Amino acid sequence: MSKPLWQAFNKQAVSQGDLSYQYCAFGESEHELSIVAMHGWLDNSASFTPMLKHLMQQDIPRKVDFYALDFAGHGHSFHRPAGCFYTIWDYAIDVVQFIEAKGLDKIILLGHSMGACVAPLVANVLPDKVVSIFAIEALGPLSGPVAETPLQLQQAVTAQLQQQQRKPKVIASLETAIKARMSSRFSVQESAASLLVERAIQSTEDGFIWRSDRRATLPSPVRFSEEQVQAILAALSCPVTLVVGDDLQTNKAFQIRAQAVTHLTWIALQGGHHMHMENQAVKCAEILIELLLQRA
């Protein structure tokens, strides 16, 4: 029997000035090929635990390191300074800084939801490093009509000012937090919610509070236009593997985006927005293994 691929699950931090990016990792042996995994909005690096459990059992190339990041304002990572927004391009800058700080060479970007929105931006900034994108349930940033730019800015600034006056909401118990996560905008099954909540809350004298920065829930002051997003996708030089669940399979606007990518593989699976944590965790891991084998 071959030796296990991954070393023990490590929780680490990379600092850039006063900012600390938290991540979980397997490997970290400075191999030529690395996987950088980016989670969805209000999730955290635990999003990829179900996939990793399957990967750990497989006989795949050993010269691979795996990094699952906590985005700024999520999980255990830093919160941005007062007055700052959480824009999609700032997340991309964070990932680029992480890659540079770790000295990573060749990278497969694995992104779910917001992570898959960020991935094309990172790949455009680092075309010589990013060899492949594995996107789950998203492809490129959210866009908005140019005519709505003034209203978008107004709403974002107003929400930012109002948020500064609010205090964190105390959660009575871990079970309450799990139920809240299960019934949120992007609902998840209890097993997935438990994984996410474990890394998403911290205890206080009165109970628990969410670790995430509530400003991450606020609207961005500016959005890309759809034309800009498609230009970003069209500029990708690396191949893209896109996995979509039930809702996106028939989404016409999403299909148009996919057509903008020169080298794209579209894979439709049965499941919801968090299928990579639920019924399709093994299948998503198998797809990732295929990408690794292509680079072995």
DSSP state of 4: P
pLDDT of res. 187? 86
Give the domain CATH number at 65.
3.40.50.1820
Residue type at 16?
Q
**Residues pairing with 130 in the sheet:** 107
- If pLDDT is split at 50, 70 and 90, which confidence band does 11 have? low
Is 135 part of a structural domain of the chain? Answer: yes
Q: Output the six-digit token pair for 211.
A: 């670790």
Q: For residues 70 and 112, give the distance between their C-alpha atoms in angstroms, rounded to a whole number.
A: 12
Kindly report, residue by residue over 116-155, the tens digit of the pLDDT: 999 999 999 999 999 999 999 999 999 999 999 999 999 9
How many DSSP H helices and E strands does the chain contain? 9, 10
Is 46 part of a structural domain of the chain? Answer: yes
pLDDT of res. 3? 34
Is 217 part of a structural domain of the chain? Answer: no
Residue 249, pLDDT above cutoff 60: yes
Q: For residues 272 and 269, give the distance between their C-alpha atoms in angstroms, rounded to a whole number.
A: 9
How many Cα atoms sit within 13 Å of 14 on the Cβ side?
Answer: 21
Is 261 part of a structural domain of the chain? Answer: yes
Q: Which domain holds residue 81?
A: 10-145+224-294
Is 167 part of a structural domain of the chain? Answer: no
Token pair 């992570």 in the structure block, residue? 115
Is 284 part of a structural domain of the chain? Answer: yes
Kindly report, residue by residue over 25-36, the tens digit of the pLDDT: 776 566 789 999
How many Cα atoms sit within 13 Å of 59 on the Cβ side?
Answer: 3
Residue 60, pLDDT above cutoff 90: no
pTM for this prediction: 0.92
Kindly report, residue by residue over 272-294, the tens digit of the pLDDT: 999 999 999 999 999 999 999 88
Is 274 part of a structural domain of the chain? Answer: yes
pLDDT of res. 80? 92
pLDDT of res. 18? 54
**How many domains is the chain built from?**
1
